[in-house]
Chains A and B, each alone.
Chain A
Amino acid sequence: DAKTTQPTSMDCAEGRAANLPCNHSTISGNEYVYWYRQIHSQGPQYIIHGLKNNETNEMASLIITEDRKSSTLILPHATLRDTAVYYCIVRVAATSGSARQLTFGSGTQLTVLP
Chain B
Amino acid sequence: DAGVIQSPRHEVTEMGQEVTLRCKPISGHNSLFWYRQTMMRGLELLIYFNNNVPIDDSGMPEDRFSAKMPNASFSTLKIQPSEPRDSAVYFCASSYRTSQETQYFGPGTRLLVL
Stretch at the interface among A9-17, A21-29, A58-66, A93-101: A93-101
Instruction: Assess the B100–A99 pair: CB atoms within 8 A.
Output: no
Instruction: Assess the B97–A99 pair: CB atoms within 8 A.
Output: yes
**CB of A77, distance to nearest CB on chain B (Å):** 23
Instruction: State in angstroms the CA–CA spacing of A106 and B106 once bound together.
Output: 20
Instruction: Assess the A45–B50 pair: CB atoms within 8 A.
Output: no
A8 at the interface (CB under 8 A from B): no
Instruction: Assess the A44–B43 pair: CB atoms within 8 A.
Output: yes
Instruction: Assess the B98–A103 pair: CB atoms within 8 A.
Output: no
Instruction: Assess the A98–B103 pair: CB atoms within 8 A.
Output: no
Report B43-57 residues with CB < 8 Å from chain A CB. Answer: 43-45, 48, 50, 55-56
Known A45-B105, A101-B45, A103-B45: A32·B50 in contact at CB below 8 Å: no
Q: Which of A43, A93, A96, A104 contacts B100 (CB 8 A)?
A: A93
Tier of interface size on chain B: 20 to 34
Known A43-B106, A43-B108, A101-B56: A94·B45 in contact at CB below 8 Å: no
Q: Which of A32, A43, A98, A105 contacts B93 (CB 8 A)?
A: A43
Q: Which residues of A contact B56 (CB under 8 A)?
A: 101
Q: Which residues of B contact A34 (CB under 8 A)?
A: 102
Instruction: State in angstroms the CA–CA spacing of A100 and B98 once bound together.
Output: 10
Q: Which of B4, B45, B100, B106 contacts A102 (CB 8 A)?
A: B45
Q: Which residues of B contact A43 (CB under 8 A)?
A: 4, 91, 93, 105-108
Instruction: Assess the B102–A32 pair: CB atoms within 8 A.
Output: no
Instruction: State in angstroms the CA–CA spacing of A42 and B105 once bound together.
Output: 9
Instruction: Assess the B103–A104 pair: CB atoms within 8 A.
Output: no
Taking CB as reference atom, which chain B residue is nearest A48? B102
**CB of A106, distance to nearest CB on chain B (Å):** 6
B75 at the interface (CB under 8 A from A): no
Shortest 6 CB-CB distances between A and B: which pairs? A43-B105, A99-B31, A104-B43, A46-B102, A93-B99, A101-B45
- A101-B33, A105-B42 given. 8 additional CB < 8 A pairs? A34-B102, A43-B93, A43-B105, A43-B107, A43-B108, A44-B103, A94-B98, A102-B45
